[in-house]
Structure 1
Amino acid sequence: MPIARVIRHSPLYLYLKLYGLSVLVSLFASRPITGRLSGQTIQQIDRIRSAAEEALIRRKTDKAKQAFRDGRKQFNEITKVQTKHLLDALSINRKHNDFFTSARAAHTSQKNHSSHPFPYAIKTLALDADTHFPALPLQGVRQRVSRVVQRWGRRYKDLNMVKKMVKEDRQDLKRYPEIESVAHVRCSNSAHEEEIKFIRKRAENVASDAEFLKRLGIPASESSTGSVHPDDIPRIAIGGSGGGYRATFGFLASLQGLHSAKVFDSTFWISGVSGSCWTIAALFTVAQQDPNALLQHYKDVADEAVHPMSRGALDVVARSPKGVYFLLAPLLTKLRDGYVGIGIMDMYATLTSSYQLLSRSPHARPRLSRSAFAFSKMWQSAGIANGKAPMPIFTAVRIMHRVATGEKNGKIQFETKDASLSKPLPPSEEGRFSKTLFQWWEMNPLEVGSSEESAWVPTWSYGRGFVSGESVSKSPEISLSMLLGQATSAPAGPMTGYISTLLATLPQGTIMSKLLSKLNDFIRHKRWEKRWGNPIRGADEPNPLFGSGSRSEHNQKEWEGRRRLKLMDSGMSNNLPNHIFSTEARWADIVLAFDQSSDVQTGAALARLNEFAKERNLFMAPANDLAECEACVNSVTADEKASLIRQQFHGKYAQVFRVWKVKDDEFQPGLDLNPEHTPITDAEMYLIYCPLLPNACQPDFDPVTSSFSTSYNLVWKPEEIDILANTARANTIDYVIPTLKRVYRRMYKEKKARRLRGISHTQ
């Protein structure tokens, strides 16, 4: 067993597992290579093929072969004579030594030079490639074997380098000062003290931005002091949905539109679900908070035409400087801590993150940075601590079960438990006594935790072992890739989630939709989900809530008995991150919810908002007086399709809802579309729902029905990214921003009035 343990913890073993996984993905995700290559690459391949065919024809003819032999023989005879004359000259006169040396060098160079008829060489997709692809059609077995040996020899050196660097990381106090610190669980319903400071500084920065406020129609002259009061500034939160690369690129294009109007510079929080988390991570690392630079980065990545989990992606990362370190170091660290093992989703995390965050710029050195993969250090490096940038937040969920524990006064008593610890109930009682719930967790540069548990640990300590609120191990901060792996772990989601997503794209009433619905109901009823629903399991991390006894005096919850914590894609609960913007500790005034789901043109879109309101005990109602108006589009055309799109989706691009906290029995939590039920009091929050819908600027493109714009397509072309980005950006500029301006002014006036009323009451 010790030998097996050493093998499992070796970099070579991990790299081979990752390599094998990438090969399998390459096989299953394959499609015609011509469909994934740019036009320039195809032309280059055609030139190479033509040159190779001509060379082969010349070599196959007897005349060419004989001419080659005669020429080679004549060349050898000439060089022998030349060499003999040079040697004689040297023996006669030593002063010709320099000439002899240069001539001999020239002769050696000609002898070793191969006049290969294959004049072109294809570079690997990585800019830091080990070598060029040789002329494969003319290559012998010896050369091929030699090339494979050389490549794996370089990988062996890289693996030794990784092993050494991981050992150094555990002792590098300058880079990882948290190694000497002991972490504690913070049990509280309030926000982190650093986040409270951030909110204040962010509000002050926005209040001093006269240009932005003037754009929104809030002149500084409104205040007696000549400037806007920071307490009157509405706190904007931006949320992006899940949806694979469609969500990644669509959310980015929406951020581009907000950036052009300076709205992004006035945002307090930015969060995402699944694919939108990729956008946020890349925006704060490789793009330096520049959405335009990030779009170009994604187009450069798409030009490589490889799946992010394929062998091609693995080669791109491995051939970059220290790329193997970013692939394996997080896995080795996790293994050597010894609290949990690694699975498929851990390898998925390191490969997809390092591939997407690898800079394609030839001027970027390093192309992957260890400081960029330390999420907690982003608090200072990105300027968040000084209020210069919004606070990024990733979301994930933990599956829980609400299980009946007894009956009191005729009412059933329920208790929420970790799904992994809950015993399956009898089928006859399952529907009545048990319900699957999702507990929301978040990951920000300060903390990782859950407002529903009122428990938080420092981000630099997440991944360590904890017992009763105190860390029992000391290791460097967990890699950003591991956090992203849990936030984007859609492949580990339940099978019913995949079926539900597929059902949303199928016409209702068809034979296929009926069969899939019955299959979905059967899986849920028989509880196959937990046992056989999906062979891919979510990644495990040490549970920071493990221990015994009470957590604190103010929070009487007990520590948990489960040593492992399994967080997964929050899209399983709700495909929008609105939950974390409406907590007791963090309350946003305006939420921009960008939804790139595949079902935004169905009733499922409003159903998500209704479910969110019920889970957070909120009452929501449409704000018809703030609804979007017809956009003033500059390029007005007489296109019939464009006119139909404007008519069909009018009023749906930016839907405004008022939100109140339910404090009594007067209102039931949820979304109420009846305007007569709307309270007369000021809204406590405004939510602007922004679905990804077709736009008149590209009337022939529908993000839902397009063949390439699916949630499962992870190989896009640059021109396809442009098509999606143009539509999402136009929706934001034409509809979302004008609506946001009206909502912003309304919330500003309401907050200002409340502040002034508070001052008058105190006086």
Structure 2
Amino acid sequence: MPTVEEMKKEPYFQWFEITPYEFFCEEFSAGIPTWALGRRFFDGKDVPPENRFHLPEIRTPLLMGIFGSAFCATLSHYYREIRPLLRTITGFQTIDQLVSVRDDDLSKVHPIDPAIIPNFAYQMYGKLPKSTPASILDGEYIQLMDAGMSNNLPIYPLLRPGRNVDILVAFDASADIKTDNWLSVADGYARQRGIKGWPVGIGWPKPEETPEQARKELIEAQAATAAEAEQKVEEAQAKQKDLREAASKQDAAKPTQLDEKSKFKPGNEKAGELGYCTVWVGTTEERSTDSPPITKPVTDDTSWQLMEPNAGLTLIYLPLLSNKKVPGVSPGTSDFLSTWNFVYTPDQIDSVVKLAKANYDEGRDQIKATVRAVYERKKQLREQAETQRRLDSYTAMAKKGEESLLHHGDQFS
């Protein structure tokens, strides 16, 4: 098992966010204007070309190619995609163990090279946080690819300090929603980073995990300080290899047709499973590491939590599930909805749109009520703050007037 120091030296992925205004990386706490993307930099300063004329900013077609370049993933990611299909092969476990042993090497090989652009953090020694890997400072170029290879719910940039997001609406159309459980991956990231206000413990429930096990995991993952959070991230990275090898040794039984269908059916919400629309709300209260609370989905009986003054981020989750109102279309059984299908007929596109609309209709009223509740809470807090400011202003004015009277005296002095 590699040490933490060895893991620090290993290349790993960073999340970059791009808007029409800025290209930014939260881990570096640094970014550049989007119009400067593609320019060369040295020690944080623009390096003009020899002819003194800069090339135009990167064109939209190249950016669109980067945003949709999931197939630039590593061989390790490729194998994880096709692994469910290989379970029917005789001797799969032996092959799986051989591949898992070489996972470190496979995670560094890209069959299709990602887009290469100049690195704006090149040679910025001593100017970036210590969490910045040395490979970024030494590399003149960086490679950009679709963030879906890391998590199909790209909400990380929305959680960084300064964004102050109140409501997140996540539409999840992943190929294997329940087993990949990207929502749980995002939850792990938020807990490792110690993000305040995040609804802890969300995601598709694991049928083999008891509530006691889930609570134990939350206690172990709880981060009290930023330094502790960074340490837990490093420890998680260091354990990644062992976890993958252990997972490869588990029974790889072929899933039945019923199993495939059940993955994309709405669960029993009363039993704690997820449905067409699930809402969680976090809290900004300080949590005790001895008993961190597990966030439960908001129901009609608990919708008052959205109005609590200490309510944190509200997450609305809408997965793409099969729906009885749209027969004949199921993300789990329809062949044309496979990850490996690249051609869709107009009828297939229309059927998927109908399915998405039907699923949205199932939770439309709940979404409206949630947005309204969060708005009313913020309005109430704003009015209370304005009232307090006016009171403080009047108090200051009265105190100032009283001091003025004492200074000049009155008719009896």
Q: 2:17 is matched with which residue? A: 442
Structure 2: how far apart are the matches of 1:647 and 1:489?
Answer: 30
Equivalent positions of 1:499-538 (< 5 A) are 499-503=79-83, 514=93, 517-525=96-104, 527-530=105-108, 533-538=109-114
**Match of residue 468, structure 1, among 37, 40, 43:** 43
**Match of residue 165, structure 2, among 584, 588, 609:** 588
C-alpha distance after superposition, 1:28-58 (max 9, x if no partner): xxxxxxxxxxxxxxxxxxxxxxxxxxxxxxx
> Structure 2: which 5+ runs fail to align?
49-53, 203-263, 392-413
1:539 offset after TM fit, Å?
1.8
Over 3 Å counting, the alpha-carbon distance change for 1:689 and 1:512 in structure 2 is: farther
Counterpart of 2:279, as a letter, is V
C-alpha distance after superposition, 1:266-317 (max 9, x if no partner): xxxxxxxxxxxxxxxxxxxxxxxxxxxxxxxxxxxxxxxxxxxxxxxxxxxx
C-alpha distance after superposition, 1:101-138 (max 9, x if no partner): xxxxxxxxxxxxxxxxxxxxxxxxxxxxxxxxxxxxxx
Q: 2:4 is matched with which residue? A: 404
Q: 2:342 is matched with which residue? A: 714
State whether residues 439 and 452 of structure 1, in contact with CA within 8 Å, keep that contact through their aligned partners in structure 2. yes
Structure 2: how far apart are the matches of 1:479 and 1:604?
Answer: 34
State whether residues 74 and 106 of structure 2, in contact with CA within 8 Å, keep that contact through their aligned partners in structure 1. no
Over 3 Å counting, the alpha-carbon distance change for 1:505 and 1:748 in structure 2 is: farther
**Match of residue 317, structure 2, among 678, 689, 696:** 689
**Match of residue 117, structure 2, among 541, 547, 553:** 541
Structure 1: how far apart are the matches of 2:144 and 2:292?
Answer: 27
Equivalent positions of 1:98-137 (< 5 A) are none
Counterpart of 1:701, as a letter, is V
Over 3 Å counting, the alpha-carbon distance change for 1:757 and 1:416 in structure 2 is: farther
Q: Secondary structure at the match of 1:537?
A: coil
Counterpart of 1:466, as a letter, is F
1:494 offset after TM fit, Å?
1.5
1:621 offset after TM fit, Å?
4.6
**Match of residue 498, structure 1, among 72, 78, 81:** 78
Structure 1: how far apart are the matches of 2:265 and 2:14?
Answer: 39
Structure 2: how far apart are the matches of 1:578 and 1:669?
Answer: 23
1:617 offset after TM fit, Å?
2.2
> Structure 1: which 5+ runs fail to align?
1-401, 406-413, 420-436, 624-644
Over 3 Å counting, the alpha-carbon distance change for 1:506 and 1:753 in structure 2 is: farther
Structure 2: how far apart are the matches of 1:674 and 1:516?
Answer: 40
C-alpha distance after superposition, 1:57-108 (max 9, x if no partner): xxxxxxxxxxxxxxxxxxxxxxxxxxxxxxxxxxxxxxxxxxxxxxxxxxxx
- Greater helix content: 1
Over 3 Å counting, the alpha-carbon distance change for 1:514 and 1:456 in structure 2 is: same
1:587 offset after TM fit, Å?
2.4
Structure 1: how far apart are the matches of 2:34 and 2:180?
Answer: 38
1:568 offset after TM fit, Å?
1.9
1:415 offset after TM fit, Å?
7.7
1:669 offset after TM fit, Å?
8.3
1:588 offset after TM fit, Å?
1.6
State whether residues 538 and 566 of structure 1, in contact with CA within 8 Å, keep that contact through their aligned partners in structure 2. yes
Q: 2:175 is matched with which residue? A: 598
2:370 maps to 1:753: no
Structure 2: how far apart are the matches of 1:741 and 1:548?
Answer: 47
2:333 maps to 1:705: yes
State whether residues 581 and 588 of structure 1, in contact with CA within 8 Å, keep that contact through their aligned partners in structure 2. yes
1:551 offset after TM fit, Å?
2.7
Q: 2:371 is matched with which residue? A: 744
Q: 2:225 is matched with which residue? A: none
Structure 1: how far apart are the matches of 2:14 and 2:291?
Answer: 22
Structure 1: how far apart are the matches of 2:155 and 2:13?
Answer: 14
Equivalent positions of 1:17-96 (< 5 A) are none
State whether residues 469 and 546 of structure 1, in contact with CA within 8 Å, keep that contact through their aligned partners in structure 2. yes
State whether residues 278 and 297 of structure 2, in contact with CA within 8 Å, keep that contact through their aligned partners in structure 1. no
Over 3 Å counting, the alpha-carbon distance change for 1:595 and 1:469 in structure 2 is: same
1:458 offset after TM fit, Å?
0.9
Q: 2:249 is matched with which residue? A: none
Structure 1: how far apart are the matches of 2:178 and 2:319?
Answer: 8
Equivalent positions of 1:273-672 (< 5 A) are 404-405=4-5, 416=8, 419=11, 437-473=12-48, 474-503=54-83, 514=93, 517-525=96-104, 527-530=105-108, 533-551=109-127, 560-602=137-179, 604-618=181-195, 619-621=198-200, 651-660=274-283, 665-666=288-289
Structure 2: how far apart are the matches of 1:661 and 1:518?
Answer: 44
State whether residues 657 and 688 of structure 1, in contact with CA within 8 Å, keep that contact through their aligned partners in structure 2. yes
The percent of aligned pairs where both chains have the same amino acid is: 28
State whether residues 695 and 731 of structure 1, in contact with CA within 8 Å, keep that contact through their aligned partners in structure 2. yes
Q: Secondary structure at the match of 1:456?
A: strand
Over 3 Å counting, the alpha-carbon distance change for 1:548 and 1:575 in structure 2 is: closer
Q: If the length of structure 2 is used for normalisation, what is the TM-score?
A: 0.64
Over 3 Å counting, the alpha-carbon distance change for 1:566 and 1:591 in structure 2 is: same
Structure 2: how far apart are the matches of 1:503 and 1:534?
Answer: 18
Q: 1:307 is matched with which residue? A: none
Counterpart of 1:562, as a letter, is G
Considering only CA atoms, is the larger Rg found in Structure 1 or Structure 2? 1
1:528 offset after TM fit, Å?
3.4
Over 3 Å counting, the alpha-carbon distance change for 1:543 and 1:761 in structure 2 is: same
Over 3 Å counting, the alpha-carbon distance change for 1:452 and 1:648 in structure 2 is: closer
Counterpart of 1:442, as a letter, is E
Structure 1: how far apart are the matches of 2:100 and 2:328?
Answer: 36
Over 3 Å counting, the alpha-carbon distance change for 1:548 and 1:495 in structure 2 is: closer
Structure 1: how far apart are the matches of 2:81 and 2:284?
Answer: 31
Structure 1: how far apart are the matches of 2:375 and 2:362?
Answer: 22
1:691 offset after TM fit, Å?
0.6
1:667 offset after TM fit, Å?
7.4
C-alpha distance after superposition, 1:412-441 (max 9, x if no partner): xx884571xxxxxxxxxxxxxxxxx53210
